[in-house]
Structure 1
């Protein structure tokens, strides 16, 4: 009888031990670690790693590394990062899971570049306006001239049409600084440039174009941002086969309004009339013979009647612009090459070079 009880107790203890062992195995499958990088191999700081269907998660460190404790069998890890496509990977028996996140082009417009990082537009506190790059592609070869009328709060005007001096001056919500600097701060990929540099950038090479218009610009960039900040980021190379893009643009230019000028006969008659209106005895500057000879189309060397506007200017001119860019690359390096050519002939009648 004692032997039977002992056997039953041993069996019960064995069953309980097996259940406890199974529970421990299921309660902690193991530790999984790895690295999260982008397409260029750059570690992503702060990427979220979460076990699907649970609150068990972690985030990557400065080098993109993460370590997570898996407590469920057949766990699925969800990797997410702002501006990138979320990925799901089944762990199975893997102990190291490395992930490459791909940029999400559909949500690119929802990401806003600020002073030192990128944020979602919904999390940016401040007045930030974004101009669509397609709206900047205008027949004008000067990018600053294309800003006029694109958004509220920007005052843009052009002082001259002289080649090389045709940049438009613009203010963001008026002038808040008088004297030395009253123009907005312009940053191209984080580096300060002048409005002349901005004017020569081709819209085809721009990825995003944003303007900060309130006090947030001052808190991020100091007193230099008091007149607003223009943030321009250019396109970057992407991993893959070489892709070639070519855009050819042809446009006509002509004066919107032409002044009416007096002919030689009308000018001489009005000039003589003006002299006599002041002094009835004043001698006439242009004789009657000269006026009649010019009116009858006499010798042009003696009686000249030249339409100088038609001699100097054309009715219209043809402008041409070509932009070529090549992008591609591999795992180690990516490239983006751009070449632009602009031909503006102008309205003056000149001999071709």
Structure 2
């Protein structure tokens, strides 16, 4: 009986020796932090709140923008984040209530995609959607369709001509198939159907968002007309605030990427004679040896001309001009965005100063856009385009 008591005392002594270790661990207690997250309009639901460096500790705000979070200490940093707003890091510093006002992040607007019946976040879209930043479409050309090549995966775009006014690029979004070949994509500008020519003359400075639907989701939203994909363009709108003026002046140089190589007159005449004699050794050639030799020696250019018609008829390059002017602003009741543009494109033909007419291409195109939004009631807006 005595031996049993001693054994129990020894076991208790061992436990007591370990007490400081467990006591030290138990002193670390969690702290509850609460607060409200809002922006300039009101409370924000769905804001993510996490402890910096501890991804397993976090929460989100409820429908009223309120949150409650248990954190392991008073010296942690809380990270507040939400799509469309700037991420904020706020140290607790022993506070029990931390209220935050989120600031809008305009750089994240390109992640919002316009679809058939409204707008969705790009991360929530099931289908294949490609968004192109309007700044990437600013190329030295007055034709918007020429800027699509190489800007998005899955788009095939090519030009058949460089003549001003006839330089629209043909493009395919879902490739070329036997069924539905040459079916152009559905083009919607502010939810209104337009042609490829209307898209070509749209000013990049007027575009707020540019999205492309590339798979079967487009057909489900827009029907069979969207079998070759959909191009969705949203133009800029006015905003509450002082009137803002924007102007862009641009001069560009246009020239052929590569010229077709032509032979010179002397070689042309020799090759023409050779082609006749190859078919019929007794055939009559078109050019005599005397004419070929005199042309090669540069004798009397009026009788033996050796003209380079490309240099005579065409310039190496030409200069084009573009001007865009826009105004936007408004108050609480009405906001406006008004823009006007002038594009002037020239051809490469030379004009003889002795002529009293100009047979060169001089294409001038004008455009005017007006988007006015009026707030009729708290829940009803009217837009005039």
Fold equivalence (TM over 0.5): yes
Q: Distance in 2 between matches of 1:260 and 1:111?
A: 49
Q: 2:64 aligns with which of 43, 46, 50?
A: 50
| Match in the other structure for 2:232 | 231
| Match in the other structure for 1:151 | 152
Q: 1:276 to 1:209 in 2, by over 3 A?
A: same
Q: Distance in 1 between matches of 2:119 and 2:197?
A: 27
Any idea what the Cα deviations from partners look like across 1:7-50, whole Å, max 9, x if unmatched? xxxxxxxxxxxxxxxxxxxxxxxxxxxxx89xxxxxxxxxx972
Do structure 1's residue 326 and structure 2's residue 340 form an aligned pair? no
Any idea what the Cα deviations from partners look like across 1:313-352, whole Å, max 9, x if unmatched? 1122222222211112223322211121222222221347
Gap regions ≥5 residues in structure 2: 1-40, 43-61, 69-81, 87-102, 352-357, 363-385
| Match in the other structure for 1:290 | 291
Q: Distance in 1 between matches of 2:140 and 2:273?
A: 47
SS in structure 2 opposite 1:249?
Answer: strand
| 1:138 positional shift | 0.8
Mapping of residues 78-227 of structure 1, within 5 Å: 105-175=106-176, 178-179=179-180, 182-227=183-228
Q: TM-score, normalising length from structure 2?
A: 0.61
Contact kept in structure 1, 2:164 and 2:346, CA below 8 Å: no
Q: Distance in 1 between matches of 2:110 and 2:136?
A: 15
Contact kept in structure 2, 1:253 and 1:318, CA below 8 Å: yes
SS in structure 2 opposite 1:50?
Answer: coil
SS in structure 2 opposite 1:126?
Answer: coil
| 1:217 positional shift | 1.6
| Match in the other structure for 1:250 | 251
SS in structure 2 opposite 1:310?
Answer: helix
Any idea what the Cα deviations from partners look like across 1:234-292, whole Å, max 9, x if unmatched? 00111222211111222222222223323323222332333333434333422333333
Q: Which moved more, 1:214-223 or 1:306-315?
A: 214-223
Q: 1:261 to 1:224 in 2, by over 3 A?
A: closer
SS in structure 1 opposite 2:349?
Answer: coil
Mapping of residues 292-307 of structure 1, within 5 Å: 292-307=293-308
SS in structure 2 opposite 1:204?
Answer: helix
Q: TM-score, normalising length from structure 1?
A: 0.67
| 1:200 positional shift | 0.8
Which ranges of 4 or more aligned residues in structure 1 deviate by more than 4 Å?
A: 81-85
* Higher RCO, Cα 8 Å, sep 6+: 1
